[in-house]
Amino acid sequence: MTKVLEFKPGTPTKFDFERVRKRKKELPERPGQLNLFSGTSGRVLKLPTDIGTFEEALLLDERGDTRARDVYLLAITEDDSKADAYCNLGIIESKSGQTARAFDCLTRSLEQEPRHFESHYNLGNLYFEAGDLRLARTHYEMASEVDPDFPNLYFNLGLVLALQDELQPAINAFKKYQHLAPREESRKADNIMSSLQRSLVSLKKKHPRPSRQG
């Protein structure tokens, strides 16, 4: 069957991975420095001294510091936000090209917390990239059961459904995305929705429903 959605230049691509962020606001800097940050670059970062190991890893991760990986591993050994640490470590492994390790980390996160939203969402992304649309769809749908108000997953789910030739479900997913996303961002789905709606109309013309005999 011909695929409805082809990824051509200019076609919006899926949203990227979603990191677990426990810090909802920037933590204040306090006097005192952690030995962890006395790296070879000569630059020392000041961090609060009363945060846990996971939060230390998260601060490093958000700043793009490669040492985040080792600190997430330390958080796991300390049982500090273990599911969250495995999830964020999985993103790091994926972006480093270590896909098998990324799958392993995200799976381990779900072993710790079966309803871990970010891990389901990120596994959906990994399976999408691997071309396994069935499992990508499964994890996006499971993520939507945990957090039904996260817009990006509906966009990615819409792409998966479109590639599976599930026209109306794909349109519904993009409508959900547009309903939840900020107005400017929601326009990302406009062209795809128009294409899907045209395809649906064309399909209905080719395969009209049989009329009922009275």
Q: How does pLDDT run across 107-152, given as a tens digit for each residue?
A: 999 999 999 999 999 999 999 999 999 999 999 999 999 999 999 9
- Terminal-to-terminal C-alpha distance of the chain: 34
What is the b/e burial string over 157-172, where b = at least 16 CB atoms within 10 angstroms of the residue's CB? Answer: bbbbbbbbebbeebbe
Residue count (the chain): 214
Q: Distance between CA atoms of 179 and 117, rounded to whole angstroms?
A: 20
Question: How do residues 147-200 score in pLDDT, each as one tens digit?
Answer: 999 999 999 999 999 999 999 999 999 999 999 999 999 999 999 999 999 988
Q: Distance between CA atoms of 83 and 118, rounded to whole angstroms?
A: 10
Give the contacts of 34 (CB within 8 A, at least 6 positions apart). Answer: 47, 49, 56
Whole-structure pTM value? 0.80
**CATH class for the domain made up of 49-138:** mainly alpha
Q: Distance between CA atoms of 125 and 132, rounded to whole angstroms?
A: 10
What the block records as the tokens of 148 is 């039904």
Q: Distance between CA atoms of 68 and 61, rounded to whole angstroms?
A: 5
Q: Give the long-range contacts of residues 68-72, CB within 8 A, separation 24 or more.
A: 68/92, 71/36
Between the ranges 6-10, 189-193, 200-204, 208-212, where is the mean pLDDT highest? 189-193
Q: Distance between CA atoms of 92 and 99, rounded to whole angstroms?
A: 10
CA 49 from chain center: how many Å?
Answer: 31
Domain ranges of the chain: 49-138, 149-203
